[in-house]
């Protein structure tokens, strides 16, 4: 039985924005539960509320009304400083843009979040190396972003999101700037991380990408209109391998398997 106290949940979340004398509803009473170890896709057309929802569960914004519980802890009424601490320690973010520092190596980019978490320099490097190994970039730690492919840069961004051992990984259109084969590379990395028990929520408008998650939540006009498990989970690694075989000029990619 899954533990209610450990889940991330929203209860009747409402978010409105004031434009002149008009109130615009971005979210209209969204209630959702995500349990530890789930891999969830949030889908919907532009204006459906999915980005506003991600901002709230990422502790980047406050709801107009309603409640948000992160691992069972109420966070929707916390002060900005407390929310910033939660974002740094408990939530990992991956965005459509890689947001890497172009003059710093992959290792240094991954170490950045730990500066604010108070880790020693030695511990920062140890954790950063481990995170890069987890996403299959153990041999790219000294490379600059300009020396990496788009898929490799996004995997550096994923490693950076993981380095503080967050309880929740949020990815907003993580494949939006990538071609189809490189998108499979990223989804293979996320599937591998989810297999280790990491809770992942992604926003995507692409049903082909959502097919690699385990649950699909569709939003429209600020409401959840469907919430269904994926009937037949596809392997992004297998589909990536098939794509590589069809193109003899493709490079290699392998996500590190978990070792004890």
pLDDT tens, residue order, the chain (260 aa): 455 557 899 999 999 999 888 999 999 999 999 999 999 999 999 999 999 999 999 999 999 999 999 988 999 889 999 999 999 889 999 999 999 999 999 999 999 988 877 788 899 999 999 999 999 999 999 999 999 999 999 999 999 999 999 999 999 999 998 999 999 999 999 999 999 999 999 999 999 999 999 999 999 999 999 999 998 889 999 998 998 888 755 455 555 544 43
The whole-number pLDDT of residue 260 equals: 37
d(CA 40, CA 161): 17
The whole-number pLDDT of residue 93 equals: 96
What global pTM score does this model have? 0.89
**Domain ranges for the chain:** 13-245
The whole-number pLDDT of residue 255 equals: 54
Length reported for the chain: 260
Question: 13-245 belongs to which CATH class?
Answer: alpha beta
The whole-number pLDDT of residue 40 equals: 98
| Long-range contacts formed by 152-156: CB under 8 A, 24+ apart | 153/98, 153/100, 154/94, 154/98, 154/178, 154/182, 154/186, 155/185, 155/186, 155/189, 156/98, 156/100, 156/106, 156/109, 156/110, 156/132
The whole-number pLDDT of residue 118 equals: 79
């Amino acid at each position: 039985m899954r533990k209610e106290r450990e889940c991330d949940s929203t209860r009747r979340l409402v978010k409105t924005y004031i434009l002149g004398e008009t109130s615009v509803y971005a979210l209209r009473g969204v209630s959702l539960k995500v349990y530890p170890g789930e891999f969830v896709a949030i889908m919907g057309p532009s204006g459906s509320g999915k980005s506003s929802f991600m901002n709230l569960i990422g502790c980047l914004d406050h709801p107009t009304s309603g409640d948000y519980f992160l691992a069972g802890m109420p966070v929707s009424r916390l002060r900005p400083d407390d929310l910033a601490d939660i974002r740094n320690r408990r939530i990992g973010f991956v965005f459509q843009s890689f947001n890497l520092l172009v003059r710093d190596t992959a290792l240094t980019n991954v170490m950045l979040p730990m500066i604010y978490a108070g880790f020693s320099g030695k511990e920062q490097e140890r954790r950063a190396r481990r995170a890069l190994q987890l996403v299959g970039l153990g041999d790219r730690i000294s490379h600059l972003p300009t020396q990496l492919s788009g898929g490799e840069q996004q995997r550096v961004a994923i490693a950076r999101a993981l380095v503080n051992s967050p309880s929740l990984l949020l990815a907003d259109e993580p494949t939006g700037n990538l071609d189809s084969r490189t998108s499979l590379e990223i989804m293979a990395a996320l599937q591998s991380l989810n297999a280790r028990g990491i809770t992942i929520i992604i926003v995507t408008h692409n049903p082909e990408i959502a097919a690699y998650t385990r649950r699909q939540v569709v939003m429209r006009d600020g409401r959840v209109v469907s919430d269904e498990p994926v009937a037949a989970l596809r392997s992004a690694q297998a589909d990536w391998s098939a794509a590589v075989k069809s193109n003899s000029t493709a490079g290699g990619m392998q996500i590190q398997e978990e070792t004890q």
